[in-house]
Structure 1
Amino acid sequence: MPRLLATQSHVVHGYVGNKAATFPLQCLGWDVDCCNSVQFSNHTGYGLDKVFGTITRETDLKELLSGLFDNFSQDYQALLSGYLPNKNSVRCMGTYYAKFKEANPEIIWLMDPVMGDEGQLYVSEDVIPEYRKLALSPKQLVDIITPNQFELEILYGEKIKTKEHLKKALEKLHRTIPVIIVTSCDCKMFDDQEFIYCVASMEGKTPIVYRVPFIDSYFTGVGDLFSALLLDRVYKILSNPTTTLEFEDQVNNVLNVIQKVLKITRSYTSEKTKAKMGSASEMKEMELRIVESRDLYETINVHQTDYIYARL
């Protein structure tokens, strides 16, 4: 049974961060160790006046990570990092993950550089250089990143307005990162606003564009679930040299699972409900139905829709 360390947010109620990732990974046969960057009553989409809890201090995060890596120096086959609230927590995670990765180069590190979306940061600006330092390290520490387009632009250092510009950004980042999944791209680049566009790029191969139907509601924790499932799929490809699994098919599979989880979640609410930031009652209704979706996480249990749209 492979073991994974996940450092990201935790909520007591609902499903984002480690709460969204842990159970699906356990269903897939992973032993998951969680290091929580924050511990909140619920996610911030309920409204800041309805969120209670604490941010893990850098000294506490340092003690947790140093203790884990000192005591269990051979235990992990994969590392996952997600939401970290400030510069100190990103730097602390990066320091210990990088040290472990250098000592164990065969493990997989997936980093979701959670910084913002749609042109707006939701972390402090001083987080940016810390993420760039990790993503652009000449030591090639990180194996997979899962930014949205805004986060990709931050790492790249320029706005991305065309497909050609997107290809150049991917080529630059592939100098240090083998696998890049842009989880949502500006639909204006693809001339259609009724879909969500995802781009998957593996070093040395032509990037693939996926087109996924848009579900008109606001969901949280989707990126955390996506990263967890993607890490599982990539690990299974890389750890089995005789596998017939193809990278592009596995990304397609993860998108299928996500769509089905969202549809199951939607089925438990009124058709008129469209959650939005700050609406606590609607956000509660639209919490991901992670447990109810437990039969979906295995690849073989999902009827595949082909979301592959084009080659970039």
Structure 2
Amino acid sequence: MNKKQILLINDMAGYGKVATAAMLPILSYMGLPTYNLPTALVSNTLDYGKFNILDTTDYIQGVFPVWKELGFSFDAIATGFIASERQAEIVSAYCKQEAAHGTTIFVDPIMGDEGKLYNGVTPATIQSMLEMIAVADLIFPNHTEACYLTGSEYHAEGVSKQAARTLLDKLHATGAKSVLITSIPVEGQHCVAGYNDKLKEYFLLPYTEIPVHFPGTGDIFSAVLIGNLLNGKALRFATRIAMDAVYRLIDLNKNNADKNRGIPLENYLNVLDE
């Protein structure tokens, strides 16, 4: 059976296992031919407090015509960090074109966390992201991003089950087919909330939070989730597998001295077999 080819459109860190540097080894380990288009080159994970970043928008603009001329296509595209409004416009236009040809689009609308937008994210960025998620087969914002994308009020203490469902409905109304909201507290329990468009099914998957911070855990979740979906697993089951993999990887590495570099994935890829 031919494995599905996936393109990662995300940033690349030189030092640290985040974004493309985290997703590539996981998807490759899962047997999926994985290609990448860096949205930015970043010297190291931002958790170190000092970094250098190169916006690759001009490079991206030159790549798409070459790929079109060469006839390159992908079964799936997964987008993550977008470096600028102009880049968002170029990438969203490409995703729309490819979606029209049957490519599955996964969007992780990386914009903020803990109720706040990241530095440099503007209302225009949010609008560009809305254009991208309008053609997505699956989006997986966190609680903060879900609120910004839908103009909803953010409640740090969490939401009711009905409010979580309403938020899923608002995200679905943007044009995205299936929806996950990661790390949302629902009635006192950390959860991933989901809506499967194919089955018209809502679900809540609770998890136990380990009080340790590693950059890149969201990217690990994305990669394991997408890999399982492309290998034929149903959304709810693939989500649970991804949640469990992240928990296990954090637990195995919680005593690491330097957590800012992320989880050294190459040493632990066998966790994906469990």
Q: Provide TM-score, normalisation by structure 2.
A: 0.89
What CA deviation, in whole Å up to 9, does each residue of 1:47-66 have, x standing for no partner? Answer: 0xx2124121x322111233
Match of 1:283 in 2: 260
Residue identity opposite 1:262 in structure 2: I
**Partners of 2:33 and 2:249 in 1: how far apart?**
22
Map of 2:152 onto structure 1: 158
The residue that corresponds to 2:51 in the other structure is 51
The within-5 A match list for 1:140-219 is 141-159=135-153, 161-175=159-173, 176-185=175-184, 187=185, 189-192=186-189, 196-203=190-197, 204-219=199-214
Aligned residues: CA RMSD:
1.8
Deviations 1:241-298 (A, max 9, x none): xxxx44322211111111111122224x26xxxxxxxxxx5524xx21210111122x
Aligned residue-pair number: 264
Match of 2:20 among 18, 21, 27: 18
Q: Does the Cα contact within 8 Å between 1:11 and 1:19 map onto a contact in 2?
A: yes
209, 230, 237: which one aligns with 2:225:
230
* Alignment partner of 1:127 is 2:117: no
Could you tell me which amino acid in structure 2 is paired with residue 292 of structure 1?
N
2:251 is aligned with 1:263: yes
Partner in structure 2 of residue 278 of structure 1? none
Instruction: Look up the match of 2:238.
Output: 250
Q: Within 2, Cα distance between the matches of 1:72 and 1:66? A: 10
Q: CA deviation at 1:42?
A: 0.4
Contact kept? 1:10, 1:19, Cα under 8 Å = yes
Closer/same/farther in 2, CA of residues 282 and 54 from structure 1, 3 Å limit: same
Is there any run of 5+ residues in structure 1 with no aligned partner, and where?
238-244, 271-280, 303-312
Matches of 1:65 and 1:293, distance apart in 2: 34
**Alignment CA distance shift 1:26-1:169 (3 Å):** same
Is this contact kept in 2: 1:69–1:100, CA < 8 A?
no
Distance apart, 1:121 and its partner CA: 0.6
AA of the residue aligned to 2:87: S
Distance 1:212 1:61 in 2: 38
Alignment partners' CA distance in 1, 2:68 and 2:32: 18
Q: Separation in 2 of the partners of 1:60 and 1:246? A: 36
| Gaps in structure 2 of 5+ consecutive residues | none
CA contact (8 A) 1:108 1:235 kept: no
Separation of aligned partners in 1, 2:85 and 2:250: 32
Instruction: Give the Cα separation in 2 of the matches to 1:113 and 1:44.
Output: 18
Give 1:67-78 correspondences, 5 Å limit: 67-73=66-72, 75-78=73-76
Confirm or deny: 8 A CA contact 2:61 2:90 kept in the other structure: yes
Distance 2:259 2:30 in 1: 30
State the distance in 2 between where 1:282 and 1:29 align.
28
